[in-house]
Amino acid sequence: MHFYILTLFPEMVMQGLGTSILGRAAQRGHISVEAVNIRDYTLDKHGKVDDYTYGGGAGMLMQAQPVYDACMAVQERIAKRCGEDGRAAGARVVYVTPQGRTFHQEMAREFAREEDLIFLCGHYEGIDERVLEEIVTDQVSIGDYVLTGGELPAMVMVDAIARLVPGVLHNSESALTETFHDGLLEYPQYSRPEIWHGRRVPEILLSGDHARVDAWRLAQSLERTKRLRPDLYEAYMAAKNAPKETKE
């Protein structure tokens, strides 16, 4: 899967996403991450990408032209790679904004099915609305708080999506059993030593009885979800008790 991040701060994005699991996945060719500097596309001879807002108000706005040209350059490269002409249907363009739909695991799963994904990061007071209307397919937020720019939210989303791409995680099971898979929080886990600060690893995990371990883990997941995230627990129980669709 190929990620493109349109930003005024490409180093920030590449430093954040070039290490650890995603860095390794990129080296192994499972994903690619490219930060595209919007400033490289400005036609302004001083390299300017922002200007005052019409109608007044504090702060500067990112202008339409450099954002549009940066995005089109990426779309054309994607189309060429796909063997299509430069005006193909195009990859999805995610505008990272607190006004968007709130990101969640199911959205990550949906985006992970794309071959290419373009993130657009705003700065200053935002981006000229006209270019958003022309190029953006999805508006996504990472929560109800305001950050100084879209780079951190874009990095959060790329991380959550990339780890679902086949081959990125070493242990394919870890994406299946973890928190939010199936709508439950993950059960507690323990490693050596058996006793630490006087606290013992639960006896059942040392039993070697896989069926009992699985049952214990499910019970722990249920208890934990009910206690910490009653909203998720209710949704899980409702889905479980809902009548199954019957085939004709």
Among 13, 49, 135, 142, contact with ligand ADE (rule: CB under 6 A): 142
CA distances from 136 to 14, 96, 140, 194, 197 (A): 22, 10, 11, 53, 53
- Under the binding rule (CB under 6 A), the answer on residue 7 touching ligand ADE is no
Q: Tell me how far apart the alpha carbons of residues 92 and 99 are, in angstroms, rounded to a whole number.
A: 18
DSSP 79: H
Q: Which stretch binds ligand ADE (CB under 6 A): 49-57, 82-90, 141-149, 229-237?
A: 141-149
The closest alpha carbon to 13, from 46, 30, 38, 47, belongs to 38
According to DSSP, the β-strands at 2-7 and 116-121 are parallel
Please say whether the beta carbons of 67 and 127 come within 8 A.
yes
Residue 13 contacts by C-beta under 8 Å, 6 or more apart in sequence? 5, 7, 33, 35, 121, 151, 154, 155
Question: Residue 39 Cβ, how far from ligand ADE at the closest point, in Å?
Answer: 19
- Under the binding rule (CB under 6 A), the answer on residue 150 touching ligand ADE is yes
Among 7, 63, 75, 141, contact with ligand ADE (rule: CB under 6 A): 141
Among 66, 90, 98, 183, contact with ligand ADE (rule: CB under 6 A): 98
- Under the binding rule (CB under 6 A), the answer on residue 117 touching ligand ADE is no
Please say whether the beta carbons of 159 and 194 come within 8 A.
no
Among 18, 86, 143, 230, contact with ligand ADE (rule: CB under 6 A): 143
- Under the binding rule (CB under 6 A), the answer on residue 16 touching ligand ADE is no
Q: Which is nearer to ligand ADE, 142 or 169 (CB)?
A: 142
Q: Which is nearer to ligand ADE, 63 or 141 (CB)?
A: 141
- Under the binding rule (CB under 6 A), the answer on residue 126 touching ligand ADE is no
- Please list, residue by residue across 43-73, b when 16 or more beta carbons sit within 10 angstroms of its beta carbon and e when fewer do: eeeeeebbeeeeeeeeeebbbbebbbbbbbe
Please say whether the beta carbons of 108 and 65 come within 8 A.
no
54-93: contacts with ligand ADE (CB under 6 A): none
The closest alpha carbon to 126, from 71, 52, 74, 68, belongs to 52
Q: Which stretch binds ligand ADE (CB under 6 A): 32-40, 71-79, 142-150, 169-177?
A: 142-150
- Under the binding rule (CB under 6 A), the answer on residue 96 touching ligand ADE is yes
DSSP 144: S
Q: Which is nearer to ligand ADE, 26 or 96 (CB)?
A: 96
> Mask 153-172, x = binds ligand ADE (CB under 6 A)?
x-------------------
- Under the binding rule (CB under 6 A), the answer on residue 146 touching ligand ADE is yes
What residues make contact with ligand ADE under the rule CB under 6 A?
A: 96-98, 141-143, 145-147, 150, 153
